[in-house]
Amino acid sequence: MPSTSSIIKTATITTSVVIASIGCYAVYFDYQRRKNPHFRKELRKKLKKEAKELEISKKKAEEEFLAKIREFLTQDLLNDPISMDPEKREEIFASNVEMGERLTIQPGQEIESASKFYRALCVYPKPTDLLKIYQRTIPENIYEIVQMMLTVVPPDNLMDFLKNSFDRYMRGVDPLVGLGSEVDVESDLANTNDDDVDHDIHEL
Average pLDDT for runs of 10 along the chain of length 204: 56 60 63 68 79 85 89 90 88 95 94 95 87 93 93 71 55 51 37 41 44
Where along the chain do its domains lie?
A: 4-35, 38-196
Nearest C-alpha neighbor of 115 from the set 87, 75, 83: 75
Burial of 34 (0-12, 13-18, 19+ CB in 10 A): exposed
Spatial separation of the C-alpha atoms in residues 46 and 29, rounded to whole Å: 14
Q: What pLDDT score was predicted for residue 161?
A: 57
Single-letter code of the amino acid located at 9: K
Q: What pLDDT score was predicted for residue 72?
A: 93
- Rounded to 5°, the CA angle 97-185-169 comes to 70
- 139 Cβ contact partners less than 8 Å away, ≥ 6 residues apart: 104, 110
Spatial separation of the C-alpha atoms in residues 137 and 111, rounded to whole Å: 17
Report how far apart the first and last C-alpha atoms of the chain are (Å, whole number): 79
pTM of the predicted protein model? 0.58
Spatial separation of the C-alpha atoms in residues 202 and 185, rounded to whole Å: 22
- 109 Cβ contact partners less than 8 Å away, ≥ 6 residues apart: 103
